Structure formats: structure tokens, C-alpha cells
Amino acid sequence: MINTFFNSGSLDSPAAFLASFLIGIAFGVALECAGFGSSRRLAGIFYFRDMAVLKVMFTAVIVAMLGVSYAKSFGWVTLDNVYFLHTLYAAQIVGGLIFGVGFVMGGWCPGTAAVGVASGKIDALVFLAGAVGGSILYNEFYPVVAPLTANDRGVVFGFESLGVSEAGFAFFFTLIAVGCFWGAEFIERKRAGATNGYWNSRFLKVFSSVLVIGAFGLFAAQTRPGAAHAEGAVSEESLLADIQGGADHFGAQELADRLMGGDASIMLVDIRTPEEYSGFHVRTAINIQVSDLPERLALRKNQGVIVLYSNGMTHPAQARDSLTRLGFRNVFQLTDGLQGFLDTCLRPVSLHDGPVSPALAAKIRAWREFFLSTPVASPAKTSILTSAEPLPAEVETGWLAQKLGREDLKLIDLRSQPEYNGGHILGAQSLNIESLRGNVNGLPSMLLPARLLAEHFSLLGLRPDDSIVVIWGDKIQDATLFGLACERLGHQRYAILRGGYSKWLSEKRPQDTRLPIVTATRYPVPEKSDDFTVGAKDVLAAIGKPGTVILDVRPADFFTGKKRDEARGGHVPGAFNRSFSDDVTKGEQFSTLKPVPELAEAYSRLIPMKGSPVIVHCRTGHQASQTYFVLTRLLGYTRVRWYDAGWTEWAARSELPVVSEVQPPTK
Amino acid sequence: MKPKSYSNPYLAGILLGLTLLASYLILGAGLGASAGIARAGAFCELAIAPARTLASQYFGGWGTHPLHYYLVFMLVGVFCGGLVSALLSDRCVVMVERGAGCSPFKRLLFSLVGGLVVGFASRLANGCTSGQALSGSAVLLTGSLLFLVSVFLGGYATAWFVRRQWND
């Protein structure tokens, strides 16, 4: 797969701007050479005088189509690395009809008018000024016309709509184009008496043949075994061809490598019963019952790769075929099922029958390490907390009980002081989380700047290589906000206690009432400011940016605007809502974050890829810190940022756009 | 100097097709022209009424720097490429292009109204002849193919009424 600017989320980088400019130059040269710097020539097609528009446009469409289709069959182009425009029937049909009226009136379209201005055409300049005005007009009338754009069908290909194979559609399309070329030449010869046309010329014969042969070649390219990794098919013939060629399979070793490499484009689905799943499953797999597959996978349709597995091969194969008929072109079954995966990738080298190459042996060791250890359930086995030993994001009470008393283990208890005084875990220090927040530049409840946080950490006797475990009372977000204070100081070795103090207490583990003896340290202040905190300006810039997700974690009523504590209710345009409390399971005695597979599944519906840019916010930054923790520490999202000032600031600044489902009170 | 004659339209089409292919493979997105114009519209409206623009549902989403967008740079490139090609082939002549029987004023009025309509329609359809008809059709998107057909339906339905601007 090619790492396009779109794929890396850097279409707004200077490099992409330069590339766009250069592509624009080639675009301009091509249009000018075609004679599209002349409105008379452009309008000619509507009077059957000059068919250049049809010839140039259709040639370009077919050439690019053949190029993209071959690139797809080689796996270079997928739905992940290329931005495809969505289909909205009403908007595109009505828009197209109106566009045609303006096109024939003005004699220009936007791109050709730019070339027209470059060619000195005053009418092109006037047309462009009109188009700028038309865009403003659209913005002003947007609330009226918006219903036309409401029904977004997502990325829909013509061959899907007609239920035919992609190669067949492309071939037929090419034939139409060639037919149009000959028709256009004929019309020009008859109507305009053109003598310098290409009718029956050697050039047109060769050109037509090349296009048709090129399109015919797509049939071979797209049924190549392996080609289907990027491309599936919907017809029964190609379904059968996939099965015969093994193109519906996904190899165990490739899967293991890609999962271990953190490839977020793969979604691994375990379709066995929940009991079997909870007994053992391949790490990162989520559990979905066969009958729920179409619904639960809807948002991943043709996005990335979906791999199904069960104990054997029958159920995944049937499910895969059924999903393919439903238009999924990105579903595969794991070759030889779970048993095959265990045999191929996870069986210890010593148990293999034949000789194993050293390279494969090393891989098997790495796979076993990755797939057979689970971060929360089996904490580190070594007895000394060295910085080489990974600290899980959440630690169990049992793990903590074993580690108590170690010098580089620091416990921070965020419960109220009376609760702390009544009994705490041996060695824990009390801290009021609010002491780490305050007014910064007029914004209330902001996490303090690094300089002040370092001062607090110094007084708590913390050192940069300490392992900090955060103990919380009734709010997980207290612990995660402390976590963000750690991150602002570049202190990565922190974990939160799963279930908090309540779980510790419910397990009748020992309590202590003595205050720990602490010597102040001098915690270093990082030189650079953190890279995860963003302001209103960054949120504003992220609105409407393809691939970027703005996640509002306040309760739904505040998101919709039904309830509000601020001047304005509602949410940032285009934001998604998932309440922070949806990530928490409340038990009788204690609460915990929901199991990772469940969270992973929920967020995979909201955020397209692990590397997608995400901005989380709530009202004060407190609740959003929990979602930040879930996304970055538990689920491995890599580009999550935190809008600390949140709705407090957004609602108060009237120039910032707000969407509310509740009509504001009339003045 | 006599302007050179236009290229073979099929060769120009191949050049255009390869440019589009490069755009998909390098940028990961197709060509586009109307987005650059619309961004200029947002820029103008921001200059006149910033609060209203930022609070509006469509332009508001583009933030305070609407020109900071790849398709704006592409549109500038189109102009520069067109200029170089027009100068090299002696086709750069300042004029109002029209039929001999049509007054310049009438032709410019048609251009202005046509521009207004096209500017509006390309926002509604989320693209113009470049983004939808060319780039979208080349990757066989259903909506883009429908847009292409609709443009020609709308054009042919109107052509007879505005034919006089080209009368010689």
C-alpha cells in the first residue's frame, strides 16, 4: 500500500501543499494544451460543434481508471490510503443539473476558468468572481439546502450499485468511451465539415485498441490470487474464483506479523461462543456472534481488513461468503482457523516435527511473547521493579499487594483526606487532585503548567524513574487526570489501580493509618511543552478535516444541548459523542473500566484507524482525561489530543461555532 | 504571432489522466478546482463578517484559515500551468471571448450568472467537473457518475436558450 499524504493524515502539511501545486501545474498545462482556455471551445460540445471536451475528459477518465484499477489489484490503492468522495444521490443529481445550466451559460467550469484567466480571457475572470459569490451564497443558504445533503451513502462504487464485477464494469465503461470517441469524430466530420479530424485514422484505431486491451487485462489482474487482499468481489463467479484461488484466506504468519507490528487496519474477529472466547482468544481479537456480524461490522465495511476465525474453517467461510454477498470486499478467513494459528505461530520450536530455520524460530519466540502474554491479567513476573520492566496501564490489587514496600514504587491516594486518614494502603501519600488544577490565562480548571506540577511532584518526593500507582476513590477520572499530570512532565511510568481503593477494601486487604516518611526531591521541569494538549484554535482547525475525530465525552443530554450549564448548549460541529461513563462498569462494591475488547470494539466504530487524529474534550478536561487514558494506554491509539479548556471555553466564546439539537430561546 | 494549434485532444487527455493518476497515488485524493474557489469565498466572507462566517454551518467548519488547504494550492498551480502553456503557444490574448453578434456586456453578464450558478452547484454536489465528473468517475464512484450525466443533461437542456452569445 502506498503511504499517500491522505493516508498519513498530512494533506495539510507544506509538503502536500507543494505536491498539490505541482500536480496543479500539470493539470493546468493539460487543460491549456487541450484548448480549454477557450470558452467557445468548451461550450462547443453543447452545440455539437467541437467535441474536444468529450474526447479529453473521457480519455482522461479511462486512463486514470485503468491506472487506479491496476494499482488496486496490486494492493497499492485501498480504501484506506485514498480519499474517495461519498455518494449522496440528491445532492449530486440536483447539483449536477444546476451545474450544467451554469456551465453552458458561463462557458466555463472552475478549473478551465483558471486556465482561461491565464489565457487573458476577461469572461473567465468574471466567471470566477461569480463562482466565489456562488460559494458564499451556498454558505448563506446552507440551512435551506442542507436536507439535500443529508442522506450520505458513504463510498459507493458503480459496479456495486449495479451488482456486477469491477473488471466487467470497467471494460464496459471503456467500450462506451471508445464508442463516444468514434461518435464525436463522426459528428464533427458531418456537422462542422472538419477535415483534420481523426475519423477512421490510424491513430484512433491504435488508441482505441490499446484502451480496450488495457481494460480487458483487468479481468486477469483482478482475479489474480492474492489480489483480493485489497479488493473483493460481489458476483457469484468471482466469489467462487476467490474460493478456488484461496483469495478468501488470510495466512496465519502474515496476520501474526501485522498484529504484532500494531497494524491498526486489521480487525480480527473471533466468531466462537463468548465462553470459548473468554477461555482463550488471539490477542486483539474481538468477539462477535455470526448473526451479529453484518451489523457490528457495518462501520468497518470496506475499511481496512477484517479477518474471521473460529476453531475450524466452516463457519468463517460461510460467514465470509455471506458478508461478501452483502458488499463487504475486505473480509477474509484465517487459514486453518484458530488451531492452524496455534500450530503455525505459537507452537514452541521444540515441539515442531521438522527442522525450524533460525529466522522462523526467532519469529515464533516473538509471536509467543506477544500473543501469550496479556497485559493486565498476568503482571510482570520478575520481582524487582526496574525501569526495564514494563508497567501495565492498569494494575490489579493482587499485583500491588505483592510489590508493596519497594523503594521505587510510589503510591498516590486521591481520595478525600478523611477517607485517607481512616485507612490507606501502606506507604500511600494523600493528594487532592484539585491541587493540580487552577486558573491559567483566565481559563478555569486547567491542568497546571509543567513548572508548577514539577513543584508538586518534588514535594511528594517523586523521581523520574519511579513507578507510580494511582489509587482513586469513586472517580476513575481523578486517577487519569493525575496520569495526564505525569505525562505533561514526561513521566510515563504510572499505572492506575484497577477497581480503585474500593476493590482493595472489598478484598479485605490490609490498611494502614501511618503517614509515610517522604523526603522532597527536585523533579525536573521538561524543556518542551507537552504535545497532547490543544486549544480552541486547534479544535476549530480540526472541524471538517477528513479523518480527524472530535470526541465529546460529556453525557448525551449536554452534547445535544438539552441540558446546559453554560451560556450556550450543544457541541462542536461534526463532533461525536461517547460519554466517559459508557467506558465504566459499575459493580456493587467497586467500578472498573470495561474489558479492553469491549472498549476496542466500541471505539473502532467511532475512530477509523489507530493512527487517526482524535481530539477528546468534556467541560473541564476531567472526564476527557479518562477517555484519553482509555484510548492511548489501553487501546493503543497514537494521535489522541486533549482539549483541556473544553466546553467551558467553547461555550463562552461566541465566535466559535456550535451545533445544538435544541432551538435556542428566542430573544 | 499566430497561435499554435491545440494538441491532439486524446494526447491532452492522456496527460490529464496521468496527472489525475499521480494525484491519487501521491496525495491519496483526486484533482479539484471548485474547493479552491469556495475557500476563497470563505476567506472573503471571513474578511467581511468574521463572527457570522465562523458561526455559519458550512464555512464555519473550515476555521479561521480556510486557504490553508491543499486544493487552494492546486488551483494556484492550475493557473500557473495554464499561463506557462498559453504563453509558450502564443495563446495568451486579453479579450472577452464571444460570438461576433453578441455584445461584450451580454457575454460578461452570462459569465457572471453562470459563475454564480456553478459556484453554488459545485458546493451542493461537493465538487465540480474536476473533483466529481473527472476524478470521481475515474474511480467509478456511483454519485460522481450520476453527477457527470446530470451536468450534461442540465447543459443540453439549457444550451438552446443561451446559444446567441456564440452567434457570429
Q: Grid coordinates representing A151?
A: 442522506
A340 and A413 together in one domain: no
Q: What is the pLDDT of residue A308?
A: 93
> A78 phi and psi, to 5 degrees?
-135, 180
Considering only CB atoms, A81 lies closest to which of B28, B40, B64, namely: B28
- Candidates A27, A74, A162, A166: best to mutate against B (most CBs of B within 10 A) is A27
What does the alpha-carbon distance between residue A375 and residue A476 come to, in Å, rounded to a whole number? 19
> In the sheet that A576-577 helps form, which strands lie side by side, from edge to edge?
A533-534, A640-643, A614-617, A549-552, A576-577
Contact yes or no for B128 and A111 at CB 8 A: yes
Query: Taking chain B, what is the end-to-end CA distance rounded to the nearest angstrom?
Result: 23
Residue A256, pLDDT above cutoff 80: yes
Q: Please list, residue by residue across A377-388, b when 16 or more beta carbons sit within 10 angstroms of its beta carbon and e when fewer do.
A: eebbeeeebeee
pLDDT for the residue A227 = 45
End position of a domain, from candidates A317, A346, A375: A346
Q: Is the dihedral of CA A93, A99, A101, A103 positive or negative?
A: negative
CB A227 within 8 A of CB A247: yes
Residue A34 has pLDDT above 80, yes or no: yes
Q: Which residues of A touch B163 (CB under 8 A)?
A: 47
- Same domain for A538 and A502, yes or no, is no
Report for A60-69, A276-285, A378-387: range of highest mean pLDDT: A60-69
User: Of A101, A122, A129, which has the smallest distance from its Cβ to B117's Cβ?
Assistant: A101
- CA B64 vs. chain centroid, Å, equals 24
Contact A63 B130 (CB under 8 A): no
CB A28 to CB B24 under 8 A? no
| pLDDT above 90 as % of chain A | 50
Query: Measuring CA to CA, how many Å separate A83 from each of B61, B136, B144?
Result: 19, 10, 14
Phi first, then psi: what are they for A308, rounded to 5°? Answer: -100, 145
In angstroms, the CA B122 to CA B109 distance is 20
pLDDT single digits (tens) A48-58: 888 999 999 99
Rounded to 5°, angle at Cα B123 from B120 and B128: 95
Chain A contact present for B101, CB below 8 A: no
Contacts of B10 in chain A (CB under 8 A): 55-56, 59, 181, 198, 203-204, 207
Closest Cβ opposite residue B120 in set A111, A112, A137: A137
Is residue A261 scored above 80 in pLDDT?
no
Residue A643, beta-bridge partner list: A534
Whether residues A46 and A152 share a domain: the answer is yes
What domain range is A30 assigned to? 14-223
Distance from CA of A181 to the nearest CA of B (A): 9
Q: Is it the case that residue B14 has pLDDT exceeding 80? A: yes
Claim to verify: residue A482 and residue A544 sit in the same structural domain: no
Q: Which residues of A touch B63 (CB under 8 A)?
A: 540-541, 543
pLDDT greater than 70 at residue A382:
no
Q: What residue in A sits closest to B164 (Cα-Cα)?
A: A105
- The verdict on A85 and A177 lying in the same domain is yes
Average pLDDT, chain A: 87
**Is the pLDDT assigned to residue B159 strictly greater than 90?**
yes
> Where does B49-103 have alpha helices with state H?
50-55, 70-88
Q: Which of B57, B118, B153 sits opposite A131 (nearest CB)?
A: B118
Query: End-to-end CA distance of chain A, in Å?
Result: 55
**Do residue A96 and residue A60 come from a single domain?**
yes
Indicate whether A383 belongs to any domain. Answer: no
**pLDDT by residue (tens digit) across A513-569?**
888 888 888 898 988 888 899 999 999 988 888 778 999 999 999 999 888 888 889
- The verdict on A153 touching B (C-beta cutoff 8 Å) is yes
B73 against A250, higher pLDDT = B73
Contact list in B for residue A155 (CB cut-off 8 A) is 141
d(CA A127, CA A560): 41
Determine, for residues B16 and A140 on separate chains, whether the beta-carbon distance falls below 8 Å.
Answer: no
Q: Let me know if residue A152 belongs to a domain.
A: yes
**B-chain residues within 8 Å CB-CB of A11?**
27-29, 70
By three-state DSSP, how is residue B141 classified?
strand
Q: What pLDDT was estimated at residue A101?
A: 97
- How many structural domains are present in chain A? 4
Residue A667 has pLDDT above 50, yes or no: no
**A260-269, A391-400, A609-618: range with lowest mean pLDDT:** A260-269
Say yes or no: A73 and A207 in one domain.
yes
- For residue A666, the 8-state DSSP code is P
Of B41, B164, B37, B65, whose CA–CA distance to A112 is shortest? B37
Distance CA B15, CA A27 (A): 8
pLDDT of residue A345: 87
- Cβ-based neighbours of A617, under 8 Å, separated by 6 or more: A539, A550, A551, A552, A553, A572, A624, A642, A643, A644, A646, A647, A650
Same domain, A213 and A67: yes
With a CB-CB cutoff of 8 Å, which residues 51-80 of chain B face chain A?
Answer: 51, 53-65, 68-71, 73-80
**Does residue B77 surpass a pLDDT of 80?**
yes
Distance, CA of B163 to CA of B136 (rounded, Å)? 30
pLDDT at A385 exceeding the cut of 60: no
What does the alpha-carbon distance between residue A553 and residue A644 come to, in Å, rounded to a whole number? Answer: 12
Query: How far is Cα B2 from Cα A123, in angstroms, rounded to an integer?
Result: 22
Q: What are the contacts of A659-667 at 24+ separation with CB within 8 A?
A: A659/A570, A659/A571, A659/A572, A659/A573, A659/A574, A659/A575, A659/B57, A660/A560, A660/A561, A660/A568, A660/A569, A660/A570, A660/A571, A661/A560, A661/A561, A661/A562, A661/A570, A662/A560, A662/A561, A662/A562, A662/A569, A662/A570, A664/A568
Cβ pair A95:B126 closer than 8 A: yes
d(CA A49, CA A314): 62
Q: Report the candidate in A113, A112, A108, A33 with the shortest Cα–Cα distance to residue B84.
A: A33
Q: Kindly state whether residue A1 falls inside one of the protein's structural domains.
A: no
Pick from B57, B65, B164, B132: nearest CA to A660:
B57
The answer to whether residue A664 scores a pLDDT higher than 70 is no
Residue B155 to residue A118, Cβ atoms within 8 A: no
- Average pLDDT on A358-385 reads 63
| Number of inter-chain CB pairs under 8 A, A vs B | 589
A262 and A326 fall within a common domain: yes
Interface of B with A in 80-99 (CB under 8 A): 80-86, 89, 91-99
Residues A319 and A178 in one domain: no
**Closest partner CB to A114 (pick from B24, B55, B75):** B75
Cβ–Cβ below 8 Å for B19 and A198: no
Nearest Cα residue in chain A from B157 = A101
DSSP A268: E
A452 Cα distance to chain centroid:
35
Summarize the confidence of residues A602-617 as an average pLDDT: 89
Do A318 and A429 belong to one domain?
Answer: no
Q: Exposed, middle or buried by CB within 10 Å (0-12, 13-18, 19+), for B161?
A: exposed
DSSP assigned state of B134: I
In CATH, what number is assigned to the domain containing residue A498? 3.40.250.10
Strands A437-440, A443-447: pairing is antiparallel
Cα(A534)–Cα(A541) distance, integer angstroms: 11
Q: Among A355-369, A404-418, A612-626, where is mean pLDDT lowest?
A: A355-369
Task: State whether A414 and A473 are in the same domain.
Answer: yes
From A4, A62, A659, residue closest to B25, measured CB to CB? A4
In chain A, which residue's Cα lies nearest the Cα of B46? A136
Give CA–CA dist B135/B22, Å, rounded: 11
Helix (H, G, I), strand (E, B) or coil at A642: strand
List A residues 516-545 in contact with B (Cβ-Cβ < 8 A). Answer: 537, 540-541, 543-544
Which residues between 103 and 122 in chain B have a beta carbon less than 8 angstroms from any beta carbon of chain A? Answer: 107-108, 110-122
Measure the CA angle with vertex A125, ends A119 and A131; round to 5°.
Answer: 130
Q: At which of A346, A361, A385 does a domain end?
A: A346
Q: Where are the domains of chain B?
A: 1-94, 98-168
**A196 pLDDT exceeds 80?**
no
A184 touches chain B (CB under 8 A): no
Beta carbons of B118 and A47 less than 8 Å apart: no
So what's the pLDDT on residue B106?
94
Which pLDDT tens digit goes with each residue over A162-185?
Answer: 988 899 999 999 999 999 999 999
In tens, the pLDDT along A565-589 reads: 888 899 999 899 999 999 999 988 8
pLDDT at A363 over 90: no
Write the residue in B24, B94, B162 that is nearest to A82 by C-beta: B24
E strands of A178-250, at which residues?
249-250
The distance of A73 to chain B (nearest Cα, Å) reads: 13
CB A543 within 8 A of CB A657: yes
